[in-house]
Structure 1
Amino acid sequence: MSIGGNMVSTAGLLLVALASVCGRVAAERQLVYATVLFRHGDRSPVKAYPTDPYKEDAWPQGFGQLTQEGMRQHYELGQFLRTRYKNFLNESYHRHEVLVRSTDYDRTLMSAEANLAGLYPPKGRQMFRPGLKWQPIPVHTVPQSEERLLSFPLGDCPRYKQLMNETEHTAEFLNVTTAYQDFMELLKSKTALKNVSVKTVWSVFDTLFCESCHNMSAPDWVTADVMDRLTFLNDFGLQFLFGVHQQQQKSRLQGGLLLGEIVKNLTKMAVPDPNQQLKLMMLSAHDTTVAALQASLNVFNGKQPPYASCHIIELYREENGATSVSMFFRNDTSVNPYPLQLPGCALDCPLEDFVRITKPFISDDRDKECQLSSPRLDTKVIVILALSFCLLLAFVVICLLCRFSVCRHKKSIGHHEINQED
């Protein structure tokens, strides 16, 4: 009994000590600022393949639109964020605390609005109509033609196009193309698409996946094996865009734009400022946006981010004034977000290390890096050409001087003869 009593007593002391340590850690580390980037919710297909029995009129709002399920997914994500940041954000909406930006697509704008409905249900005087637990909150955007922060890959970069062409000639890409050549032919015959390749097969997967999510019957040729193959190729298509070959260079021209903005904001928020009220940056975008950012952070798992998945970046201030960055990825609503560890740093990464490690993936002059470098002339050739030009210039000058001298001499003789005749 004494041994058991001692064990219980010891266990109790350990629990008290652990609680004390946890309490000190919680007190020492204070959340300062957070950025959340999420994919839109469930949507209808972007388009249908020629033999698809379900055309655009099969979807209430047409192609590429957020569904009611997508709205529910983001309302739930908003509720999750409310719980996560209940001691960080005001319970009621405060316009200086949160800034929301979205790409200019119906599905991302509506996802942001559904998310905010879960994050900020109005209470008290914020309710403008009795019984309506919703309030309008601004969501900012720019035209699609001007979007350079949340929509990837951007098509305005010749160097990126060159890298993509190089990627198509890598062993990994060629091996996948060869291994799935017969499968591509099958898809061509079944879908009546003229062009099916590793780069375009995602559209077939997308259509079939969206239809399966809404319990629409699949054609007989769409077996479990076919969907497995399509899933692999769809994931590989994302890897192809942002990795496989020269991932760092691709990141500098694509996802590094967003990463650079996030790092700039983290650095700014790390400086104590009593006038700074912004606490949360919300970004509503696409699967390619999440993949591009994670590739630039070197934490992309190679899988398509699911609907309403959320990449969280949080800035903390320690009791001694030091700041650190923690990242999480929420791609499964049944479990807590997964911690993401930046390669080369701790889970709670000191801000200065976070900035240093991510710097190679961020371009200082992206427009300049996007230009294709012109072939450089050999140094000897340049010297020879320069000397030749100088000699030619000297020869021309000498010829002009000689011609001018002769002309003057002739004029002098002519005037003298005239004077003699006079």
Structure 2
Amino acid sequence: MVAGSAFRASRALLGISAMGILIGILRAAEGRELKFVNLIYRHGDRSPINGYPTDPYTEKDWSQGYGQLTQVGMRQHYKLGQYLRRRYKDFLNSSYEREEIYVRSTDIDRTLMSAQSDLAGLYPPHGRQIFNPDLKWQPIPVHTVPVKDEKFLKFPIPNCPRYEKLLEESRNSKTVQDKVKESQALLDMVSEKTKLKVTFENVWKLYDTILCEKIHNFSLPAWVTPEVMARLQELNELGIEALFSLRERRMKSRLQGGVLLKQILQNIAQVVNGTNSTHKFIMYSAHDTTLIALQVALNIYNGIIPPYASCHMFELYQEDDGSFTLDMYFRNDSSSDVHLLTLPSCTEHCPLQNFIQDTQDLISDNRDEECKLSKDRNQREAILIAAFCVCLLLVILLLITLCCCWNRKTQHQRVPSDIEELP
């Protein structure tokens, strides 16, 4: 009887403890407040960037021509906007409020149109925002700058000699050269079939064209077999690796993806410091290389090119103790939920200061200066060139000296003629 009472008492204590733990968890969850979201997404499905000389299809076969968002792409981003509405229904106002959200896109048709499609799903008009009863849409600003002035959304960012030098070294690396040598017969074959000189540097253009045609169920030429497509894909993926990660990944990231990361952290800092009291949601409409450059910099890229309308989310939370944490999520399919991303050195709900500390070597304080080829490198190259010239000059002088010595020796050893013997 006593044992039974003790057992019941123990169960009661365990129940109270479990309840206490549960209440603690619930309180912690209640105390965790979403403060800011910065997300970056790739545009939706598009037509090819270009064709090739023997392409059975021309630009006229695409409703708006090359490089344009298709209706499939519009629907993908409309669905993404609807997903964002569901995900952030308790964070964003149900109606569009211009103080809450800021949207920026690269100055390219397909990214601008993707942003507009996305916003149509995120902010269907309500009440006074309905300006036409037959139209469930409202105009929302999408900001941009000319392509030549784009600083952090379109990659690779051009006009950076140091990066271009690293890229050249990557393309000349043994990894790439071995792959090119192994694939030379393939490159020669597709060059002959397409009447286009296909190289490692431009193979992505051909692969992109064929892939877009395949996605849209166009009949492909007989030479485009599954094996050919697989091998072109391998070359395309290696080309991406050469751009951002193959050799000197961290330095490339400082000059490329780190630029976008710096902007995102600045956006976050404004929220934390209270200098940005309005925008709580920032969206960037960009490209696959934008996401790749960012994820390579964070060392979380899985090697798979982000699909159309994929979305990388940064969510800033304030914990119940007042500290800030940063969560990252990635949605790589327009019909699926997000999955968590974490830095290799962090976990879920990464403390903001840890995140900043772990990524600080990716942030350049003066990228323009770092883009310059270092003086030491220039000096070394100049010294090597000068040393080569000196060595070459010495070799020439040595050869001249040897020739002169040889001539003198020949003259001294020559037997004089009868005429030379005369007085």
- Is 2:31 aligned against 1:39? no
Contact between 2:176 and 2:238, CA under 8 Å: does it hold in 1?
Answer: no
For residues 295-354 of structure 1, the C-alpha deviation after alignment (integer angstroms, 9 at most, x for no partner) is: 111111112110000011110100110001110111023432121111211121111111
Letter in 2 for 1:122: P
- Cα gap change, 1:124/1:169 in structure 2, threshold over 3 Å: closer, same or farther? same
Offset, 1:360? 0.6
CA distance in 2, matches of 1:277, 1:102: 20
State how 1:3-402 maps to structure 2 within 5 Å.
Answer: 20=23, 22-194=25-197, 196-272=198-274, 276-375=277-376
Q: Unaligned 5+ residue runs, structure 1?
A: 1-5, 382-422
- Cα gap change, 1:54/1:10 in structure 2, threshold over 3 Å: closer, same or farther? farther
Between 172-181 and 201-210, report the one with greater CA deviation. Answer: 172-181
CA distance in 2, matches of 1:15, 1:170: 59
For residues 20-76 of structure 1, the C-alpha deviation after alignment (integer angstroms, 9 at most, x for no partner) is: 455323212111001110000000000001110001011110000000000000000
For residues 218-251 of structure 1, the C-alpha deviation after alignment (integer angstroms, 9 at most, x for no partner) is: 1111111111112222222211110111011111
Contact between 2:106 and 2:285, CA under 8 Å: does it hold in 1?
Answer: yes
What percent identity do the matched residue pairs reach?
Answer: 50
Letter in 2 for 1:333: S
CA distance in 2, matches of 1:308, 1:363: 29
2:389 counterpart residue number: none
Contact between 1:310 and 1:331, CA under 8 Å: does it hold in 2?
Answer: yes
Contact between 1:236 and 1:302, CA under 8 Å: does it hold in 2?
Answer: no
CA distance in 1, matches of 2:274, 2:211: 47
Offset, 1:214? 1.1
For residues 1-28 of structure 1, the C-alpha deviation after alignment (integer angstroms, 9 at most, x for no partner) is: xxxxx9xx99999997786455323212
Contact between 2:315 and 2:326, CA under 8 Å: does it hold in 1?
Answer: yes
Contact between 1:291 and 1:300, CA under 8 Å: does it hold in 2?
Answer: yes
- Cα gap change, 1:206/1:10 in structure 2, threshold over 3 Å: closer, same or farther? farther
CA distance in 2, matches of 1:20, 1:233: 54
CA distance in 2, matches of 1:354, 1:216: 46
TM-score where L is the length of structure 1 = 0.83
CA distance in 2, matches of 1:202, 1:144: 21
For residues 138-196 of structure 1, the C-alpha deviation after alignment (integer angstroms, 9 at most, x for no partner) is: 000000111111111012101111101111222221222122121111211111112x1
CA distance in 2, matches of 1:156, 1:335: 38
- Cα gap change, 1:373/1:92 in structure 2, threshold over 3 Å: closer, same or farther? same
Letter in 1 for 2:84: L
Between 110-119 and 166-175, report the one with greater CA deviation. Answer: 166-175
Contact between 1:153 and 1:254, CA under 8 Å: does it hold in 2?
Answer: yes
Offset, 1:271? 2.9
CA distance in 1, matches of 2:18, 2:47: 51
CA distance in 1, matches of 2:348, 2:53: 48
State the secondary structure of the residue aligned to 1:352: helix
- Cα gap change, 1:226/1:125 in structure 2, threshold over 3 Å: closer, same or farther? same
State the secondary structure of the residue aligned to 1:180: helix
- Cα gap change, 1:227/1:134 in structure 2, threshold over 3 Å: closer, same or farther? same
CA distance in 2, matches of 1:30, 1:142: 33
Letter in 1 for 2:290: T
CA distance in 2, matches of 1:302, 1:265: 28
CA distance in 1, matches of 2:379, 2:306: 46
Q: Unaligned 5+ residue runs, structure 2?
A: 1-7, 384-423
CA distance in 2, matches of 1:377, 1:98: 49
- Cα gap change, 1:170/1:87 in structure 2, threshold over 3 Å: closer, same or farther? same
CA distance in 2, matches of 1:71, 1:377: 53
Contact between 2:345 and 2:358, CA under 8 Å: does it hold in 1?
Answer: yes
CA distance in 1, matches of 2:175, 2:27: 50
Contact between 2:103 and 2:143, CA under 8 Å: does it hold in 1?
Answer: yes
- Cα gap change, 1:13/1:250 in structure 2, threshold over 3 Å: closer, same or farther? same
